[in-house]
A and B are shown apart, each in its own frame.
Chain A
């Protein structure tokens, strides 16, 4: 298995632009998680899905952030409009269940908003 695949690896955009981050989870995993990592706040859970359905989006910082999972093999995290404080590394992770299985993380997308 190729693992969790995220694209792009790096994204530089101007303030106010729309940004879309993409994630392909491991086949057969029914949980998908989006995290944000910054020096100041560490690793933050933004939202997670179970069987393509959003379960908890309480970590999404603002209405500018939205996430979708149209099918079991694809998810997007969108920021519109982007702001400099959104600069961070965004990780996607998947799991075959909640709990003892642990999560498999992608390599992340480093987002820089200038």
Chain B
């Protein structure tokens, strides 16, 4: 079964600074990977996904993520954070085989300060 770890519970960055949120997964084969964002009082919104091909994927709102098989990681990055990026971010992993649902990490809360 697949699993996902988001090591950072809470991160604070200054507006305009770069951001990297960590995600590590465990799965015996090539997974497919997702990042979701949840703004306060809202549901989860898909930012980007990876399932094959180019290991650097671009998403909405200026986010990107890089799949690194050797490190079992799928870290989310943004070169310049805006105050509106303050939210909860969830990494999720899915399996190619079988009929198993996505497994979500526990989330990383991002705070943005002026």
Query: Which A positions have Cβ atoms within 8 angstroms of B?
Result: 4, 33, 42-43, 45, 48, 50, 55-56, 91, 93, 98-100, 102-108
A99 & B95 in contact (Cβ 8 Å cutoff): yes
CB contact between B43 and one of A42, A45, A48, A106 (< 8 Å): that residue: A106
Query: Which B positions have Cβ atoms within 8 angstroms of A?
Result: 32, 34, 36, 41-46, 49, 51, 90, 94-96, 99-102, 104, 106-107
12 A-B pairs in the complex with CB atoms less than 8 angstroms apart:
A4-B43, A42-B107, A50-B99, A56-B101, A91-B43, A98-B94, A99-B95, A100-B94, A102-B102, A104-B46, A105-B43, A107-B41
CB contact between A33 and one of B46, B99, B101, B106 (< 8 Å): that residue: B101
A100 & B32 in contact (Cβ 8 Å cutoff): yes
B101 & A48 in contact (Cβ 8 Å cutoff): yes
Q: Give A107 to B44 CA distance when docked, in angstroms.
A: 8
Main secondary structure of the interface of A (DSSP, over half): strand
Report the nearest A residue to B34, measured CB to CB: A102
**Which residue, of A43, A104, A107, has the highest number of chain B Cβ atoms within 10 A?**
A43
B107 & A100 in contact (Cβ 8 Å cutoff): no
Q: Give A55 to B36 CA distance when docked, in angstroms.
A: 24
A-chain residues with CB within 8 Å of residue B95 when the two chains form the complex: 99
B42 & A98 in contact (Cβ 8 Å cutoff): no
B44 & A98 in contact (Cβ 8 Å cutoff): no
B-chain residues with CB within 8 Å of residue A33 when the two chains form the complex: 101
A108 & B43 in contact (Cβ 8 Å cutoff): yes
A-chain residues with CB within 8 Å of residue B49 when the two chains form the complex: 100, 102
B-chain residues with CB within 8 Å of residue A107 when the two chains form the complex: 41-43
B107 & A99 in contact (Cβ 8 Å cutoff): no
Contact status of A43 and B90, CB under 8 A, knowing A98-B99, A99-B96: yes
Cβ distance B1 to chain A, nearest Cβ, rounded Å? 13
B-chain residues with CB within 8 Å of residue A56 when the two chains form the complex: 101
B101 & A45 in contact (Cβ 8 Å cutoff): yes
For the complex with contacts A45-B101, A104-B46, 16 further pairs of A-B residues with Cβ separation under 8 Å are A43-B90, A43-B104, A43-B106, A93-B44, A98-B94, A98-B100, A98-B101, A99-B32, A99-B95, A99-B96, A100-B32, A100-B51, A100-B94, A102-B49, A107-B42, A107-B43
